[in-house]
Amino acid sequence: MPLFDYHGFDQKGKTTKGTVEAGGKRAALEKLRHQHIYVSSISEQRRKRAESRMRQLFPSASIRLSTTELATSTRLLATLLEAGVPLDEALAYLVDQSDKSSHKRLFGQIRDSVLQGMSLHKAMEEQGKAFPQMYRHMVQVGESSGSLDKVLLRLADFMEEQARLKSKTRAALAYPALMAIVGTGVLLFLVTFVVPKVTRMLTDMGQTLPGPTRFLIAISDTLGSYGWIMALTLGAALVALGRYHATPKGRLKLDRTILKLPFFGNIVRTIATARFSRTLGTLLQSGVPLLQALEISNSLLQNRYLHQSVTNNTKAVREGASLAQQIRSSALFPPLMAQMTAIGERSGNMDTMLLKVADNQDREIEITLGGLLSLLEPVMILVMGSVIGFIVLAVLLPIFQASQGLG
């Protein structure tokens, strides 16, 4: 948190000076007043002012909270507000409970802005990318409706669900990814360093080598002679693909291609549907108007082809069209979403229907990833075992032939 140098008087009228740590100037004055110190002058230390100016010049360097950290802080703040604790005191408690100095500074600055009369969502907006757009809009709705604690509880539930899904997805893919990296490294080491020494010995034996051995020698020679060229070519191709993906046209085409891929495209579509439905349902449940909720939810879609489709749907809804009809006509989201949205439009409970869609898609993701993991592990073991078995066979065949010749 920022440090402030102050000069003032104590209760006995004696001159005093020192340094106080606080979220902002207003908070520092309040802290000193509780210590019965009457301030005549106060200023933030130069180093802290320089850091503040750097954060203004480079917004990308602003403090970022992970989904789990944001969910934990949101639930704590909601619990305190629900218990009747004033907002500034609840924010002060967040400052005290934060383990990281950057988080202390973040919540301290928000508290200082609130003490100066700024609304909470505006104070969060000042912090750059620390709080997502969807988060700030829901806080704004909660403040205007007088139900900030309830809105924060919904936000905490939303963030925790997102964190749980991310954690489960990473955990499911971590073991296969690690196994693939280690297995590929071992195979490259064998083919590049071990096999050439063994095959050189076999070649010196002067006998006709079997087909598997000649094939293994050819692979080893190719990797030894042209491996660096192949690596550079692959790197250049990845860089070119990355630059193409960075262009709007390229990203749109690649994202469209991803959605058409067998199996993997369906996973991407399911994850996007779950996130979009949960975000839209949570925003509507908190009182955000439909068009604004659609725009916010659409901004969270990482697939640009889906993003473009929802943008067109939003324009049509603004002109009076039915959201369910637009979703059904686009044929990009699962039919369940269009059906549940139509039911929600007729019953007036679209938020509840969308959250049910999100729950359904989350379960489908878990089942799909579980099935993929259970299939992927034995397939990878089978492939690696077959490759290693081929190497062993190619090395041992000439040895068996030589031993038979000697016999």
d(CA 188, CA 191) in angstroms, rounded, equals 5
Angle at 68 between CA 62 and CA 73, to 5 degrees: 75
Q: What is the pTM of this model?
A: 0.66
Q: Residue 62: what pLDDT?
A: 56
Q: What is the DSSP letter of 16?
A: E
| Tokens coding 285 | 């449940």
| Tokens coding 42 | 């106060």
Angle between helices 211-246 and 195-204 (to 10 degrees): 150
Q: Residue 237: what pLDDT?
A: 92
Can you give the residue ranges of every domain in the chain? Answer: 3-57, 59-160, 164-274+301-407
- Please name the residue that has the structure tokens 């301030």: 39
* Residue 38 CA neighbour count, 13 Å, CB half: 7
d(CA 16, CA 386) in angstroms, rounded, equals 79
Q: Residue 144: what pLDDT?
A: 81
> For each of the chain's 407 residues, which pLDDT tens digit applies?
566 778 888 777 788 877 776 767 777 788 788 777 888 888 876 544 444 554 444 444 457 788 888 888 999 999 999 888 888 888 888 888 888 888 888 888 888 888 888 888 888 888 877 888 888 888 888 888 788 888 898 888 888 888 887 787 777 777 778 888 888 888 778 777 777 777 777 667 666 778 888 888 788 778 777 878 888 998 999 999 888 888 888 888 999 999 888 888 888 888 889 889 988 988 888 888 899 889 888 888 888 899 998 999 899 998 888 889 888 888 888 888 889 999 998 888 899 999 999 889 888 888 887 787 778 778 888 888 888 888 888 878 877 776 765 55
One-letter amino acid of 264: F
CATH superfamily of 59-160: Type II secretion system (T2SS), domain F (1.20.81.30)
CA 108 to chain centre: 25
Q: Residue 206: what pLDDT?
A: 66
| Phi and psi angles of residue 45, each rounded to the nearest 5 degrees, phi first | -65, 145
Element (H, E) at 130: none
Region of 263 on the Ramachandran plot (φ > 0 left; ψ -120 to 50 alpha; else beta): left
| Tokens coding 286 | 């908190």
CA 179 to chain centre: 23
Q: Residue 343: what pLDDT?
A: 92
Residue 201 β-bridge partners: none
Q: Are 278 and 161 in contact (CB under 8 A)?
A: yes
d(CA 144, CA 147) in angstroms, rounded, equals 8
Q: Residue 47: what pLDDT?
A: 46
- For the four alpha carbons of 397, 398, 404 and 407, in that order, the dihedral sign comes to negative
Region of 287 on the Ramachandran plot (φ > 0 left; ψ -120 to 50 alpha; else beta): left
Q: State whether residue 66 is helix, strand or coil.
A: coil
| Phi and psi angles of residue 372, each rounded to the nearest 5 degrees, phi first | -65, -45
Q: What is the DSSP letter of 207?
A: S
Q: Residue 236: what pLDDT?
A: 93
